[in-house]
Structure 1
Amino acid sequence: MLDPELPAEYEELRKTVEEFAHTEVAPVIGDYYERHAFPYPLVASMGRMGLFGLPYPEEYGGMGGDYFALCLALEELARVDSSVAITLEAGVSLGSMPVYRFGTEEQKQRWLPELCAGERLGAFGLTEPGGGSDAGATKTRAALTDGSWLINGSKSFITNSGTDITSLVTVTAVTGPEQDGRKEISSIIVPSGTPGFTVEPGYSKVGWCASDTHGLSFEDCRVPEENLLGERGRGYAQFLRILDEGRIAIAALATGLAQGCVDESLRYARERAAFGRQIEQYQAIQFKIADMEARAHTARLAYRHAAALLITGKPFKKQAAIAKLVASNAAMDNAREATQIFGGYGFMNEFPVGRFYRDAKILEIGEGTSEVQRLLIARDLGLPA
């Protein structure tokens, strides 16, 4: 997968998504972004293209592809807009992947076809108001009574959780104590509209303004016992696996944003004149763009390596952390430099680099902060916890 020449089927997918991003997303996404509106028509188009089903078998309504294919799609979308890209990323790697990885056959048959078709979205309820990076500090509780789970608690910053097409949220909850006294944490599927499950008003965000993000609350929310996802007490381990995979997807998205900054800066440098010359002729601008391209290239190599390990069944945890760290840094640095190249226009939301700058910072925070990635890398190297 590190060969710069992609196999034909991957290259065909990449070109298809690239064309979609430039012809359908780019002309309209600025308006959605400014209105903080969810782009339902674009999501429906991605569903018809099969993007939400890319890594899943055809028996569940998927495209029979793999995680590498998903990452290619995310990179191309994020070169144009990250709100659309994160909707796909969260819908697949966080929304439907837990059901696919850990669900029973009945759960897969019930939930995956609509999720793979993009007709419905799933969400991933891990983060809580008092526990972001410290996911083990889960306070949401679920008690098994009379054949049902009774859930009480809250979640924060949950993507795709409040759209009109959201069908489920998979939540972590404390379901009892372990024998060693630690919390027993399990994963439970909560369908949208379940009594006692409340989607809080959407956040006012710095970036990702055309994506859907809400807090969630559960007050005596009752779901059937069979909504347990995977083995009881394995919820924390399951979600850590999902996060490891998701970091590769976020790295692909961040790479796309970093490359989008290069694309826009090249275009602007060829159009903009200052002191009698196009600014592309100034070495200061050339060096900025060269450094930006180097960052995007390095980030691409990192996420593709991690994705290749994942789809071939090899250990990938450290490589996923490296990819996420390198790519998110590249996105943030490139967004800052692109804004500088654009000058005053870079501070205007009408130009894509303004969105890129606003969208980049969350990539150093979501699905594991940069500090968490460094911890994971250090521990893999054998350094003490």
Structure 2
Amino acid sequence: MSYFLTEEQVSIRDVARRFTQREVRPRVMELYGPKGHTFIKEMGKKMADLGFFRIPVPESAGGLGAPRTTLLVVYEELSKESPALALHLMLNGVLPTMLLMGMPAAREKWFEKVLDGEATMAGAGTDPRGLANFSEWSDLAVRDGDHFILNGSRSYCTGGPYADLVIVFGLYKGTTWAFPLDVGTPGLIIREDEKMGLGTSFGALTMSDVRVPVAESLEMSAWVKDRKLVQANGHSTINVLDISSMSLGLAEGVFEKTFEYALQRTNAGKSILTLGAIQVKFAKMKAQIECARNMIYNAARLLEEGRQDKMLEHMVKPIATEMAVDVARSCMQLHGGMGYCVETGIERYLRDAMGLTIGECTSDMHWSTVATLMDMPETRLGSF
């Protein structure tokens, strides 16, 4: 968490911490088994009852209208046990705000249901040609009177297999649009794809002559126009701080468990924490965690004060997510064979951390964008 929280943010953090410790921790391994979807939706309803989904929603629409830091603190606490639940919060807290920008029928049908945890949303924006190389994307939509007709596919849709509403992002005449599709819409098929970590599964979407009213679709020309990013920071910085705070929480969670384990684990009758090599490992991990924390919450504070630092945000994501991988690997190794066993729940942190390095553009994609923002010669934007 940030060291500079308001009283309200401290209160919300404490609620998230108690929920994570009491509700999530005892059952988190269910997420990685056949009941994963059920677990996500059950915990999602509990998070909704606590008001988490309403944190980013404007007060005028029945939300809390809280600053970004408030949401990051909750992501961080949830991710100490399950970044998958933090991702679920991101999808069902942030995506509903898109319904406020347009999509009147979808808003009427789904907005309150999602915020109350009675329905779930997912977003699908990865083209088979890649997430951010828009110059190679084909148009997803053609217009037929008052409707768009969608033909194509989207990959890696987190939450897709158990969603009720999916927001699909695609091009129409080279410009990005968002299309709300109810699951069950004729021509829409969602295939479940297993993945390495983060629980549950991806959804691969196929659309064959899917019809969606133009009045329900949202033009997003501020993002991509003429198959080109409109600006260097694009919309990627909408979620990079979210993913980064999840990585921070993940690292803290596995660090805390490993520190407690090291206190109890003995060598020659003494805690292994008395060994110099082990002490250095923990000291370095703590330093990595604190460095990432400061970058994340400094970037959030600048954003909230209207002084957004695009370059900093693109740096934060690869640094925080790669830090989580390093910490998770070290902690698994410190547990020895126990850390490598699935049933102890330690190796899952490494699998989850790897997923966070990929979501919302990979580390290399962000570094390429940083190079562009530094005005290096012959650079290309790597992330959107």
For normalisation by structure 1, the TM-score amounts to: 0.89
1:198 has 2:198 as partner: no
Q: Which residue of 2 aligns with 1:353?
A: 346
Structure 1 distance, partners of 2:26, 2:135, is 42
1:337 is aligned to 2:348: no
Instruction: For 1:253 and 1:191, locate their aligned partners in 2 and report how far apart those are by CA, in whole Å.
Output: 28
| 2:171 aligns with one of 169, 174, 188 | 174
Structure 1 residues 48, 21: CA separation in 2 closer, same or farther (over 3 Å shift)?
A: same
- Structure 2 partner of 1:59: 60
Could you tell me how far apart the structure 1 residues matched to 2:343 and 2:330 are? 18
Structure 1 counterpart SS, 2:181 = strand
Partner of 2:299: 306
Q: Distance in 2 between matches of 1:152 and 1:198?
A: 11
Q: 1:289 aligns with which of 278, 282, 285?
A: 282
C-alpha separation in 2, matches of 1:289 and 1:150: 55
Distance 1:234 1:374, change over 3 A: closer
Instruction: Name which of structure 1's ranges 189-198 and 126-135 shifts more when overlaid on structure 2.
Output: 126-135
Distance 1:233 1:14 in 2: 34
Aligned-residue RMSD, C-alpha? 2.3
1:91 aligns with 2:92: yes
Q: Mean Cα displacement is larger for which, 304-313 or 367-376?
A: 304-313
Provide the residue aligned with 2:259 in structure 1: 266
Q: How far has the Cα of 1:309 moved from its partner?
A: 2.2
TM-score by length of 2: 0.90
Q: Tell me the alpha carbon deviations over residues 215-252 of structure 1, each in whole angstroms, 9 at most, x when there is no partner.
A: 00100000111122135685566997443110010000
How many residues are matched?
372
Deviation at 1:35, TM superposition (A): 2.9
1:34 maps to a residue whose letter is G
Secondary structure of the residue that 1:290 maps to in structure 2?
Answer: helix
**Given that residues 57 and 93 in structure 2 are in contact (C-alpha distance below 8 angstroms), is that contact kept between their aligned partners in structure 1?**
no
Partner of 1:179: none
Identity of aligned residues (%): 27
Runs of 5+ unmatched residues, structure 2 = 380-384
Q: Where does residue 216 of structure 1 map in the other structure?
A: 205
Q: For 1:238 and 1:350, how far apart are their aligned partners in 2?
A: 47
Query: 2:92–2:115: 8 Å Cα contact kept in structure 1?
Result: no
Residues 235 and 151 of structure 1, relative CA distance in 2, 3 Å threshold: farther
Deviation at 1:97, TM superposition (A): 4.2
Q: Measured at CA, do residues 266 and 80 of structure 1 come closer, stay the same or move farther in structure 2, by a change above 3 Å?
A: same
The CA distance in 2 between the partners of 1:356 and 1:189, in whole Å, is 33
Q: Which runs of 5+ in 1 are unaligned?
A: 177-182
Among candidates 225, 228, 236, match of residue 214 of structure 2: 225
The yes-or-no answer on 1:21 pairing with 2:10 is no
How far off its partner does 1:275 sit?
A: 2.8
User: In 2 relative to 1, CA 83–107 (structure 1 residues): closer, same or farther, beyond 3 Å?
Assistant: closer
